[in-house]
Amino acid sequence: MGEALAVVKKHFGPDAVILHTRTVDTKTRLPGRARQRVEITAGRGDPKHPTPVASIPREKKRMPTPSSESRLAAMPAGDPQLATRIAALQSSVDQLLHDRWSNTNPNLPQQLRATYQSLIESQVAADIAAKLVRKIQRELTPAQLNDRNRIQTKLAEFLRSMLPVAETANVSKSGGPHVIALVGATGVGKTTTIAKLAANQTLRHHKTVGLITTDTLRVGAADQLQTYADVIHAQLHIVDTADQMRNALDALHHCNIILIDTPGCGPSDTTRLHDVRHLLDTASPDETHIVLSAEASPRAIDHHIERFNSFGINRIIFTKLDEAVGFGVILNSLKSVHARLAFTTNGQRVPEDITACRSDALTQSILSSLR
């Protein structure tokens, strides 16, 4: 779709009018390798007389998520044609925002323009990308602004200052168990992340870990966590009420760390959100981590943060970093929540695929993702 829109812009310029888009699956000789033909009907000026301009085949892959601050409504499930149109419109909006910002900054050096575009392509929100570029322009001399290495060094400095990371928790037994709760939407990987944290603390740091799950509705949720608990010889308590939470905390009082798993809560799960918050109020955790999927759209991440902000979030865990379109989602999320980055995960292996956040490493990852 991005390639097709580029063709539209090349043919018709800023006056292009897009009337219709669609994506058609076509067969290939290789099993399981569907191809798509992207079609856009567009014209210049008069929308009543459009000219078909693009029909580009390509291998089917995940559509990149929007990067600008203007967001369209969430795509309704089950309607691929509508989803395609919305994606096309969002891409057009992103390009318009980029062009508008570039046009209002005609004196911007070419290297800075390239840096701005790279940030946008890495899913950094348009306002954050513009802020970073303006700061670089103020800090460097005109001669230095032609030096890409100088720009990258200054960008790294600014990025590092924007990435607050959590310090390693003090989990000595003298003050009682250190209680950590994980909250988040359905499907972001909370249970697997709990298992990784528990295994690392037990096997690598030789801490005594206790597990609590409040996810009593999802089929197999407790069984999955019980399997991990058995491997690391940890106690697991299944909790559904405030009294059960108090009893579980008492039973695990000998532990260094208590990890609390919670059920996923969707946009309309108001009742479940209330129940989970009530149980966590009873537990009074030392740390409350919101688990966010790095492959989610910026709009979805903002919505999840808004839904869980009342839980007293003070840590962020990003999962599925290996599936993310860009690292910009990390920077974008920090605008919406006053919390520190704790961990990232990049696979399903327990306990390997989890990393404690370090500002230098995150900065390098973001820079490496820029084209």
pLDDT band with cut points at 50, 70 and 90 for residue 183? very high
Q: Which carries the bigger pLDDT value, residue 187 or residue 53?
A: 187
Q: From residue 185, give the alpha-carbon distance in Å to each of 158, 169, 191, 339.
A: 31, 24, 12, 17
DSSP state of 165: B
The rounded distance, in Å, linking the Cα atoms of 349 and 67 is 30
Query: Residue 335 in 3-state DSSP?
Result: coil
Share of the chain above pLDDT 70, in %: 72
Q: Which carries the bigger pLDDT value, residue 64 or residue 247?
A: 247
Q: Give me the residues paired with residue 22 across strands.
A: 39
Q: Residue 331 belongs to what H/E stretch?
A: helix 328-333
Burial of residue 342 (number of CB atoms within 10 Å: 0-12, 13-18, 19+): buried
What confidence score (pLDDT) does residue 301 get?
85
Greatest mean pLDDT among 35-44, 254-263, 269-278: 254-263
Query: Given a cut of 50, is residue 357 above it in pLDDT?
Result: yes
Q: Which carries the bigger pLDDT value, residue 13 or residue 70?
A: 13
Which distant-in-sequence residues (6+ apart) come within 8 Å of 231 by Cβ? 199
Token output for 294: 């790095």
The rounded distance, in Å, linking the Cα atoms of 326 and 124 is 8
The rounded distance, in Å, linking the Cα atoms of 26 and 181 is 47
Average per-residue pLDDT for the chain: 77
Tell me if 176 sits within 8 A of 253, measured CB to CB. yes
Query: Residue 176 in 3-state DSSP?
Result: coil
> Any idea where the domains of the chain sit in the sequence?
2-100, 105-161, 173-358
Query: Given a cut of 90, is residue 355 above it in pLDDT?
Result: no
What confidence score (pLDDT) does residue 210 get?
94
Query: Given a cut of 60, is residue 230 above it in pLDDT?
Result: yes
Q: Residue 189 belongs to what H/E stretch?
A: none
Share of the chain above pLDDT 90, in %: 20
CATH number for 173-358 (one of 3.40.50.300, 2.60.40.350, 2.60.40.1730, 3.30.310.50): it is 3.40.50.300
Q: Give me the residues paired with residue 212 across strands.
A: 237, 260
What confidence score (pLDDT) does residue 254 get?
92
- Can you tell me the mean pLDDT for 194-206? 90
What confidence score (pLDDT) does residue 237 get?
94
The per-residue pLDDT for range 87-141, each reduced to its tens digit, is 566 555 555 555 555 555 656 788 888 888 888 888 888 888 889 999 998 888 8
CB under 8 Å, gap of 24 or more: what pairs does 134-141 form?
136/112, 137/108, 137/109, 137/112
Burial of residue 7 (number of CB atoms within 10 Å: 0-12, 13-18, 19+): middle
Q: 200: number of CA atoms within 13 Å, CB side?
A: 17
